[in-house]
Amino acid sequence: MSSSPQQAQQASLVKVLKRALGKKVLVVLKRNLEINGILRGFDQHLNLHIDNAVTTNPHTLEIETLGTIVLRGDSVLLVNSEDLVEKQEE
């Protein structure tokens, strides 16, 4: 039984998210909202459980502490962590 391209892409995303568990991540959401925090978990819908979440108000530049949150997978545009970038040897 072969998998669809969408299933292969989701399997790849799950692999990356597993590597990011317990690490500090930047999550960019629709409407250009950015959340920083520790990725604690995710589910089959790619909803993200984030601890110590904070965001910055783009108008006042004040940092707002959100605490523990769950982000809906369909609102997530990007998940980034320095630990996810593979260092290339020169």
d(CA 21, CA 14): 11
Q: Is residue 16 part of a domain?
A: no
Q: Is residue 46 part of a domain?
A: yes
The domain in which residue 42 lies consists of 22-82
Q: Is residue 51 part of a domain?
A: yes
Q: Is residue 29 part of a domain?
A: yes
CATH for 27: 2.30.30.100
Q: Is the pTM of this model over 0.85?
A: no
Task: Specify the number of domains making up the chain.
Answer: 1
Q: What is the per-residue pLDDT across 36-62, written as a single tens digit (0 to 9) for each?
A: 999 999 999 999 999 999 998 878 889
Segments of the chain with pLDDT less than 70:
1-3, 84-90
Q: Are 66 and 33 in contact (CB under 8 A)?
A: no
Q: Is residue 89 part of a domain?
A: no
Q: Are 39 and 50 in contact (CB under 8 A)?
A: yes
